[in-house]
Amino acid sequence: MIFRNLRSIREDRDLRQKDVAAILNVSQNTYSQYETGVIALTAEVLIRLADYYDVSVDYLLDRTACPAVNRDAC
């Protein structure tokens, strides 16, 4: 499963895969595989990404179009 919001939010903030990989302490290749769904995102990675981007985990997983942590804000 390709996570479009995960890629989109990274690109919107002018970050490279290498930049986000460094934040997660993984290789660029591993991060690329997260975005394309080759490797499953762990709960720990999802939480770290959601905290970094200040968005909900559901948004990162393309389960909602609302990036806000509190859905009432949308």
Domain-embedded: residue 16: yes
Query: Where residue 40 sits, what CATH number does that domain have?
Result: 1.10.260.40
Q: Which residues of 11-40 are buried (b: 16+ CB within 10 A; e: fewer)?
A: eeeebebeebbeeeebeeeebbebbeeeee
What are the pLDDT digits (tens) for 10-61?
999 999 999 999 999 999 999 999 999 999 999 999 999 999 999 999 999 9
Number of domains in the chain: 1
Structural domain contains residue 24: yes
Q: Which helix (H) or strand (E) holds 28?
A: helix 28-36
The residue among 37 and 72 whose pLDDT is bigger is: 37
Rounded CA separation 42/34 (Å) = 9
CA separation, residue 20 to residues 48, 64, 72 (Å) = 11, 22, 28
Q: Read off the pLDDT band of 67 (50, 70, 90).
A: confident
pTM as predicted: 0.87
What's the pLDDT tens digit per position in 3-18? 899 999 999 999 999 9
Whether 74 is covered by a domain: the verdict is no
What residue numbers bound the domain in which 59 lies? 4-69
